[in-house]
């Protein structure tokens, strides 16, 4: 499936970003969702300070990366093992994926999920996969959303 994303190719562009233009909206390929994953048609999204900290290099992440993690939309497709959502459901994405099994998750602090933080740093989804590509090369995820 084809989609459009705000893709960061190099880190450290100088502000103002309206002039240096560190992001390019580009066509990417989106693979079907894997186990425990859902594909969402994004209806609204924005960039926030977390995205800016990746652009300016304060938060090192691998590039190319599809930024944006504050988003809302509609579930289009569910991967295997997804039981709580169905196509047509309206959802709001969370800013950190959570495994539900690590100590912070078990203590009710999913925003501190250790595997989620590791996936964010690596530019992958929680299970370690990447579902985005461009011209055959992988594109990294931002915070498990890449809206």
Query: Predicted confidence band at 84 (pLDDT cuts at 50, 70, 90)?
Result: very high
Residue 143 near residue 67, CB atoms below 8 Å? no
| pLDDT tens string 85-106 | 999 999 999 878 899 999 999 9
Q: Structure tokens of 118?
A: 């590791």
pLDDT at 87: 98
32 DSSP assignment: P
Residue 35 near residue 77, CB atoms below 8 Å? no
The pTM of this model reads 0.92
What domains, with CATH codes, occur in the chain?
2-141 (3.90.180.10)
Report the alpha-carbon angle 34-88-36, nearest 5.
Answer: 20
The number of beta carbons lying within 10 Å of the beta carbon of residue 44 is 10
Query: Predicted confidence band at 147 (pLDDT cuts at 50, 70, 90)?
Result: confident
Q: Structure tokens of 10?
A: 């190099």
Query: Predicted confidence band at 72 (pLDDT cuts at 50, 70, 90)?
Result: very high
């Amino acid at each position: 499936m084809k989609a459009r994303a705000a893709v960061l190719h190099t880190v450290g562009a100088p502000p103002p970003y309206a002039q240096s233009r560190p992001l390019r909206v580009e066509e990417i390929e989106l693979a079907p969702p894997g186990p425990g994953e859902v594909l969402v048609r994004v209806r609204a999204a924005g960039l926030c300070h977390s995205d800016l900290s990746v652009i300016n290099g304060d938060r090192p992440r691998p590039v190319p990366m599809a930024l944006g993690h504050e988003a809302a939309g509609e579930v289009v497709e569910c991967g295997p093992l997804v039981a709580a959502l169905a196509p047509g459901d309206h959802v709001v994405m969370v800013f950190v994926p959570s495994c539900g099994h690590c100590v912070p998750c078990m203590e009710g602090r999913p925003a501190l999920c250790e595997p989620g933080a590791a996936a964010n740093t690596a530019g992958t989804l929680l299970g370690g996969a990447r579902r985005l590509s461009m011209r055959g090369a992988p594109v990294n995820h931002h915070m498990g959303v890449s809206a």
